[in-house]
Structure 1
Amino acid sequence: MISKPSVLFVCVHNAGRSQMAAAFLTHLAGDRVEVRSAGSQPADHVNPSAVEAMRELGIDIAAAIPKVLTTDAVEASDVVITMGCGDTCPFFPGKRYLDWKLDDPAGQGIDAVRPIRDEIEHHIRGLLDELGIPSAA
């Protein structure tokens, strides 16, 4: 496959799903994958329930900052994974797009966020398999 693939995770607010996915991929792949995340309408801060859910697994996303989605980020990525941003995500021919159907953790408590977190981890492990990258954890 690609020597060092680049993956972009996109959701509306870049405050929950995409932040957890980026953190999982960074945690499991280390520096073997370039990881980005962004949102079509970024929030002011990362969802506290997402921060808590990831902290339970020893992954700290408390300092993460939601970022706006740019065409440059999409163009620089080999794989673009969308999570509920619909038509607001730019499309570029030749890019590999995956759309992960995940519940939105916005406004949800930790008990509702844990299953979303676990589903994201499952998707990330599958992505690593597809990319031929063994998990570091």
Structure 2
Amino acid sequence: MCVQNAGRSQMSTAFAERERDRRGLGDRVEILTGGTHPADHVHEAVVDVMDEAGFDLSDRTPREITLDELRSCDCVATMGCSTLEVGDVGGDVDVRDWALEDPGGQDPDRVREIRDEIERRVVDLFEEIAVERE
């Protein structure tokens, strides 16, 4: 989750969906995305660099995420934009702040770097979950 749900959280969602599918976890892992103040559309630079990586985000629309949705999660990744009062979610939710730079308004090379860092973190999270289940 982030503020606008127009960049980092959209990239994270795409990578998480891919990892869920690669690992055959479609029936066990639900992925939610959203923002506290959603934008009207996903950042164009994000759509472009994700397209380079094989993801079509052109039809995605930022959405608001509710506190009830967050409380239903096992793990919440915030993108580093102070969107969440951790105490509001509850003690059973693993909240992680990935402290990532906002790709909005960045040049394409910087957006690619942010994309690649998000991909690494998502893969690492799925690896961590796999180890915990063993």
- Per the normalisation by structure 2, the TM-score is 0.86
Question: Structure 1: 5+ residue runs without aligned partners?
Answer: 1-9
Question: SS at 2:54's partner residue?
Answer: coil
**Does structure 2 conserve the Cα–Cα contact (< 8 Å) formed by 1:12 and 1:84?**
no
User: Which one has the bigger strand percentage?
Assistant: 1
By percentage of residues, which structure has more helix?
2
For residues 56 and 33 of structure 1, the distance between their equivalents in structure 2, rounded to whole angstroms, comes to 26
Partner of 2:9: 18
TM-score (norm 1): 0.84
Task: Please tell me whether residue 33 in structure 1 is matched to residue 24 in structure 2.
Answer: no
Q: Over aligned residue pairs, what C-alpha RMSD do you find?
A: 1.5
C-alpha displacement of 1:87: 5.1
- What secondary structure is seen at the aligned counterpart in 2 of 1:86? coil
- Residue aligning to 1:46: 42
Task: State the Cα deviation string for residues 77-96 of structure 1 (Å, max 9, x = none).
Answer: 11011112315454322111
Given that 2:41 and 2:61 are in contact with CA atoms closer than 8 Å, whether structure 1 keeps it comes out as yes
Counterpart of 1:5 in structure 2 is: none
Structural mapping, 1:1-137, within 5 Å: 10-30=1-21, 31=26, 32-86=28-82, 88-89=84-85, 90-132=88-130
Runs of 4+ in 1 over 6 A off after TM superposition: none
For residues 26-53 of structure 1, give each alpha carbon's deviation from its aligned partner in whole angstroms, at most 9, with x where no partner exists. Answer: 0121225211111111100001111111
Percent of aligned pairs with the same amino acid: 42
Cα shift readout 1:98-122 (whole Å, capped 9, x = no counterpart) = 1101110011232220000000000
Tell me the matched-pair count: 124
Amino acid at match of 2:101: D
Long gaps (5+) in structure 2: none
